[in-house]
Chains A and B, each alone.
Chain A
């Protein structure tokens, strides 16, 4: 593909650039028409929010998402080609494990991940599920949020950049990564189709990956079919649902959703009573500076949660049973414990063994096989250079 001009998606920008280019050059060759990518229609599932967190300068396009999927899975995203130093998003975010490594990962023991430098990540991995509906902040402490004063800490695009350079992740260098992909057959053309230029920029790489991540939608678990009136829950699952959504029961719904909030999270930050001393330098307090936010973290979605151990920001619980036991008997009082944890002085919600089994049965109805096996989210068979 020979291009004399840089084409940017969008008529106005294209036109502006055209003008700029015109003034620089005296002789104008008729430019080939800029490729217009096809808008990607994200379907809003039943009862899901209609407001999406998509930055204005990076709308979803079919071509962008396709490119993003390649990059998400291509181990050369680390900027290296030696088989030992390949790493991509999918090294830690694995589809069949709810885009988490999984507790039985062959390399990341117990699901605790480390980067190419060998350094372990500060917190355990978060799943990549329905993130396009999260407007309150990404990361366990929500340090990536839309109106952050720091423009490099706002969006999924910024998380991509961080993942590529951070020592506890890919430990790469964005210009080297960009140059490597420029040299790989097939990629420049995909960039042309997605962003109007076959000159690869790291910014466009991040944009494409973020687009792909925004399309990862889980909305067809058994609970969704129940909410849509298509399928009935078993007696035990129904018991669990009622317990989950009642204050006298397991009391999970204020933070983890229910019938009126099918995301199964508020994406908000709470101290859920795990500790009495708070010394993690990267808790919610680190973002807001409010001492009442010490020991607070984002309540993650419980969709497909049975696959995404170890649990809590520090991975202290290996199994869901341990989590349910914690909420039942082990909740600890502190000044910072969230008021919604109103069972705290009894040490928790005191579920009986059969109630615990019911709550677990309910949580299992949030398991979405279609999401975990959706071919559109899976590793491509071949990369654009046929590698």
Chain B
């Protein structure tokens, strides 16, 4: 990956030099916004109802997008990178500065067809200890559950069937294949869908946890087709919206009463999030 980054950097740098005479450049600024039912999110307010009929509130949302690309009309992709030359952006409702992505990069002026990014990290990018500094480091995903980082923490509470407000942690990241006697005829074998960690190989976990047999990388790509223009020497302002309610309904209904408060060890629950995820986001022209 670093080689790729370096190559891209050089490609970009040389491009800039070669073209300064003929081509013009502009910048982009993304403003991130979290919405529920098309209204700006009000945190800690028990005023929302999801498609499953759960009344709920949201306390905070922390998430990563990576490999962010501007797609030009001719299909050329321009990668958006941070100061460390990495296309990794952390967004946190508790940190206002994180809600703007303005890298100061120059992109060719002209017409664009949309934006693409990876929600979370692909397998190669999702390496433990790549972030040692907070707040990113606080997103670590336990090594036993696959390591790397949470793609997202969406924390809140809902009113459960007993009428009590119960916390939910809608956390997405690497999923696990657990040992399941009924599926495997009692034989311990690796499902072969992913790698296992040396740390834990041969490890017999405590009673409540069946052994982990393999990992599932749950990241997905989001493609937002929305034309925009980058004007010469101008900063074109874009709004990246997360429609929170769509996590729970876009394709499949997610019911907190069914899945409970915690899903890091429930691939079936995370799977719903992953199927709904590509439809959660929207790109608009900024105001």
A binding-site residues for B, Cβ under 8 Å: 47-51, 135-136, 235, 238-239, 241-243, 245-249, 251, 253-254, 258-261, 266-268, 292, 333, 335, 337-345, 352, 354-355, 358
Q: Which residue of B lies closest to A241 (CB)?
A: B144
In angstroms, Cα B171 to Cα A253, docked, is 13
Q: Could you show 8 A-B contacts with beta carbons less than 8 Å apart?
A: A49-B132, A246-B144, A247-B262, A249-B206, A337-B167, A339-B156, A342-B167, A342-B260
- Binding site secondary structure of chain B: loop
A344–B167 touching, CB < 8 Å: yes
Q: Which residue of B lies closest to A258 (CB)?
A: B142
Return A245 CB to nearest CB of chain B, in Å. 4
In order of increasing CB-CB distance, the 8 nearest A-B pairs are A260-B140, A342-B261, A245-B142, A247-B262, A339-B167, A339-B155, A342-B167, A259-B143
A339–B59 touching, CB < 8 Å: yes
B132–A242 touching, CB < 8 Å: no
In angstroms, Cα B169 to Cα A341, docked, is 9
Q: Which of chain A's residues have a CB closer than 8 A to the CB of B271?
A: none
In chain B, positions 117-172 with a C-beta closer than 8 Å to chain A are 128-129, 131-134, 137-145, 147, 149, 155-157, 160, 164-169, 171
8 Å CB contact of A358 from B134, B206, B263: B206
A246–B142 touching, CB < 8 Å: yes
Q: Which residue of A lies closest to B44 (CB)?
A: A292
Known A249-B208, A260-B149, A342-B261; further 11 A-B contacts with Cβ < 8 A? A47-B132, A50-B133, A136-B134, A242-B144, A247-B264, A251-B262, A259-B147, A261-B138, A266-B138, A342-B167, A355-B206
Return A354 CB to nearest CB of chain B, in Å. 8
Q: Which of chain A's residues have a CB closer than 8 A to the CB of B144?
A: 241-242, 245-246
Q: Which of chain A's residues have a CB closer than 8 A to the CB of B209?
A: 242, 246, 248-249
8 Å CB contact of A50 from B59, B128, B132, B141: B132
Q: Chain B 57-101, CB within 8 Å of chain A: the 1/0 string? A: 001000000000000000000000000000000000000000000
Q: A245-B142, A266-B138, A342-B169 are in contact. Are A260 and B128 (CB under 8 A)?
A: yes
B208–A248 touching, CB < 8 Å: yes
Q: Which residue of A lies closest to B145 (CB)?
A: A246
B20 touches A (CB below 8 Å): no
B189 touches A (CB below 8 Å): no
In angstroms, Cα B62 to Cα A268, docked, is 14
Q: A342-B262, A343-B261 are in contact. Are A258 and B206 (CB under 8 A)?
A: no
Return A328 CB to nearest CB of chain B, in Å. 12
B167–A261 touching, CB < 8 Å: no
Q: Which of chain A's residues have a CB closer than 8 A to the CB of B166?
A: 342, 344-345
B128–A259 touching, CB < 8 Å: yes
Q: Which residue of B lies closest to A292 (CB)?
A: B44
In chain B, positions 176-224 with a C-beta closer than 8 Å to chain A are 203-209
B102 touches A (CB below 8 Å): no
In angstroms, Cα B208 to Cα A243, docked, is 9
Q: Which residue of A lies closest to B260 (CB)?
A: A342
8 Å CB contact of A247 from B44, B164, B169: B169
Choose among A47, A258, A259, A339 the residue with the greatest number of B CB atoms under 10 Å from its CB.
A339
Q: Which of chain B's residues have a CB closer than 8 A to the CB of A248?
A: 208-209, 262, 265
8 Å CB contact of A339 from B141, B157, B205: B157
8 Å CB contact of B134 from A49, A258, A340: A49
Q: A243-B206, A249-B206 are in contact. Are A49 and B133 (CB under 8 A)?
A: yes
In angstroms, Cα B207 to Cα A345, docked, is 22
In angstroms, Cα B63 to Cα A371, docked, is 35
8 Å CB contact of B142 from A50, A259, A339, A345: A259
